Amino acid sequence: MEIVHEVTARLENKPGRLAKICSSLAQEKVDIRAVSVMETDGPSVLRFVTSDLEATKRVLTALGTEYKITEVIAAQLDNRTGALAGALERLAEEHINVDYAYVSTASSQGKAVGILHTTNPKRALQILSESTAAPSAEKGSGRRPLHAR
């Protein structure tokens, strides 16, 4: 788990706008590690974490896209039932609110990355790091993991 920089931009909701940003990042060899796009009544809200913040800023500036940078938590989550719930419950017990969250798909190591925005990312990171083992919601359920079905 770590604190990372998230980029937030507002995009015109029209064909090709998101594709242009993604292809421009790819041309600069920038990996998108997690992404969320939300439709609104106005411009869409794009939030993402990349492998190279400085290159990301250069790409967005070259495209004339305004952006802001925010600190968020990138939490490694087990790819199992209840993993996200366990992390959120630990934060709630310590009165840490999660303003928004999005989760990447699981990697080949069976981990997903949860991006969590809180008003106190350093404290939230400390809480999540201290409690690395959450009880499994599948324990004793008799269910097999999806990959074993």
Cβ neighbours around 52 below 10 Å, total: 14
Query: What is d(CA 148, CA 143) in angstroms, rounded to the nearest whole number?
Result: 10
With contact defined as beta carbons under 8 Å apart, do 125 and 3 qualify? yes
What CATH class is the domain 2-69? Answer: alpha beta
- Structural tokens at position 102: 């999005």
62-67 average pLDDT score: 96
Query: For the sheet containing 32-38, what is the strand order?
Result: 32-38, 44-50, 2-11, 67-78, 111-118, 98-103
What CATH class is the domain 71-130? Answer: alpha beta
4 pLDDT more than 60:
yes
pLDDT at 95: 94
100 pLDDT more than 50:
yes
Q: Where in the chain is the domain with CATH 3.30.70.260?
A: 71-130
Which pTM value belongs to this model?
0.79
pLDDT at 148: 42
- Between 48 and 148, residue with greater pLDDT: 48
pLDDT in tens, 12-32: 988 999 999 999 999 999 999
User: Quick one: which H or E segment has residue 117?
Assistant: strand 111-118
pLDDT band at 109 (very low <50, low <70, confident <90, very high): confident
Query: What is d(CA 96, CA 74) in angstroms, rounded to the nearest whole number?
Result: 16
